[in-house]
Amino acid sequence: MAEEATNENLTIADLQTIVNIIDTATQRGAFRANELKVVGSVYEKTTAFLESVSEAEKEAAPEAETLEEDAEDAEEGGEE
pLDDT of residue 1: 47
Question: Measured between alpha carbons, how far is residue 73 from residues 60, 61, 64, 65 in Å?
Answer: 20, 18, 14, 12
Give the tens place of pLDDT for each residue, 10-46.
Answer: 999 999 999 999 999 999 999 999 999 999 999 999 9
Q: Give the model confidence (pLDDT) of 42-74 as tens digits.
A: 999 999 999 999 999 888 877 666 666 666 666
pTM of this prediction? 0.65
The pLDDT of residue 66 is 66
Q: Give the residue among 52, 51, 43 at the shortest CA–CA distance from 18.
A: 43
Q: What's the sign of the alpha-carbon dihedral 68, 69, 73, 74?
A: negative
